[in-house]
Amino acid sequence: MATGHRIPLSLLDLVAVRQGGTVADALSIALRTARHAEGLGFKRYWLAEHHNMPGIASSATAVLVGHIAGGTRDIRVGSGGVMLPNHAPLVVAEAFGTLAELHPGRIDLGLGRAPGTDPLTMRALRRDRVESEEDFPRDVAELQRLLGPLQPGQQVMAMPGAGTEVPIWLLGSSLFSAQLAAERGLPYAFASHFAPRYLLQALELYRRLYRPSTRWPRPYAIVGVPLVAAPTDGEARFLASSVQQRVLGILTGRRGPLPPPVDGFMASLPPRERAAVEDFLACAVIGGPRSVGEQLARLAEVTRADEFMLVCDVFDPELRLRSLSLAAQAWAQAQAEPATAD
């Protein structure tokens, strides 16, 4: 599929706590993984925000962004994303403005409009605030102002933050954020790693309605991709059962630490549960090197993605690093191969 355009790889980390492991283990694995991704030439390393979820240790997202950025040298580090309903824009601007001053040119601010948790925990985060559909666009605009140059007469400033112009990304799994990103001339990341249903529709809407901005004269879309690579297709399918077990737990309300892989997990499920897991992971790329390269190439052709954001949760941390290495090699080779005529 050799073309003039190379699609870079990035990584989104939920900082999974593994069965039998600790939060400290998960944080150590995250930093090691970020350094490995940097060595492979990955463009970004983003951290998700979730709260009150057993098995996920990325709730203090800005703190983790600083930890990862401080332990790496060149890779961009950011949020994938900060869930704005949980935070006052000024607090977000000051946190990421501080990060931008500590790590110039390396910080991304991805924003989501879901709370990333349950209603009870959301109330604990923001007390009695009542959300409306207008809040997210208003909060995004406020963040743009707070991170932009100081204006004459501006009474509320982010310090640090003002003038840092930390790149803002809008994240989403529906059409709302796609349309908002297009209207604001912002880059867009679709959460197809867990909600692929509206992927193509959202990308089409984003590109069709896009209004060029100074920083982003053209639309720029990231596509989320669950990934498990191994030397063989069979081993990759086996390792992917950890993710499949976790997805089933999400769908059935039985969340927990990332479990070890098991043989024949999908085959053991009733048809309805198996279909639900497959729908959740419809964009997943699972296989040996050749299969991974082919699957990514097909996804690139269908989505015209500008970047792939991998989500790679393999139970064994060593095999996770191997998975990322194999995927990077397979994708580089796939993009170097000449296109074949149909």
Exposure of 74 by Cβ count < 10 A (0-12 exposed, 13-18 middle, 19+ buried)? exposed
As a whole number of angstroms, the distance between CA 65 and CA 109 comes to 10
Structural domains of the chain, with CATH:
9-336 (3.20.20.30)
Tell me the C-alpha to C-alpha distance, in Å, between residue 222 and each of 156, 189, 237.
33, 4, 25
SS3 112: strand
DSSP H or E run through 233: helix 233-252
Taking only the tens of pLDDT, the chain with its 342 residues reads 655 578 999 999 999 999 999 999 999 999 999 999 999 999 999 999 988 888 999 999 999 999 999 999 999 999 998 998 889 999 999 999 999 999 999 999 999 987 545 566 556 655 556 566 678 999 999 999 999 999 898 899 999 999 999 999 999 998 999 999 999 999 999 999 888 999 999 999 999 999 999 999 999 999 999 999 999 999 999 999 999 999 999 999 899 999 999 999 999 999 999 999 999 999 999 999 999 999 999 999 999 999 999 999 999 999 999 999 999 999 999 999 876 544
SS3 111: strand
pLDDT given at position 134: 78
Provide the token pair at 89: 């824009």
Structure tokens at 129: 């605030």
Tokens 């946190």 appear where? 95
Chain-centroid distance of CA 280 in Å reads: 15
Which pLDDT score, from 0 to 100, does residue 130 have?
A: 57
Closest CA to 255 of 264, 263, 247: 247
Residue whose pair of structure tokens reads 């209603």 in the numeric block: 119
- Coarse DSSP helix, strand, coil percentages of the chain, rounded to the nearest 5 percent: 45, 15, 40
Structure confidence at residue 284 (pLDDT): 97
| pLDDT tens, position by position, 187-205 | 999 999 888 999 999 999 9
CA-closest candidate to residue 161, choices 173, 148, 151, 171:
148
d(CA 262, CA 245): 9
Residue 342: per-residue pLDDT: 44
pTM over 0.85: yes
pLDDT in tens, 251-263: 998 999 999 999 9
CA 7 to centroid of chain Cα atoms = 16
How far apart CA 215 and CA 218 sit, in angstroms, is 9
